[in-house]
Amino acid sequence: MDSVYALMLRKMVRGGFRRKPDSWAYILTNTNLIEMCKTESIESFIERQKQRFLAHIIRMPDKSITKRIIFNDEKNTKRGRTTIYIDSTLDCQDLTEFCQNAKNCLV
Reported as a single tens digit per residue, the pLDDT across 27-81 is 998 899 999 999 999 988 988 888 888 888 888 888 888 888 777 766 655 666 6
Judged by average pLDDT, the poorest of 12-21, 38-47, 77-86, 93-102 is 77-86
Rounded to 5 degrees, what are φ and ψ at 19?
A: -110, 160
Nearest CA among 43, 9, 45 for reference residue 28: 9
pLDDT, residue 98, reads 76
Residue type, 11: K
Distance of alpha carbon 38 from alpha carbon 28, whole angstroms: 14
pTM of the model: 0.65
Neighbouring-strand partners of residue 19: 26
pLDDT of amino acid 38:
93
Average the pLDDT over 17-27 and give the result: 90
Collapsing DSSP states into helix, strand and coil, what is residue 19? Answer: strand
SS3 75: coil
Helix (H, G, I), strand (E, B) or coil at 96: helix
Among residues 52, 16, 50, the alpha carbon closest in space to that of 33 is found at 16
- Angstrom CA distances, 7 to 2, 4, 36, 65, stand at 9, 5, 14, 40
Average confidence (pLDDT) over 17-23? 90
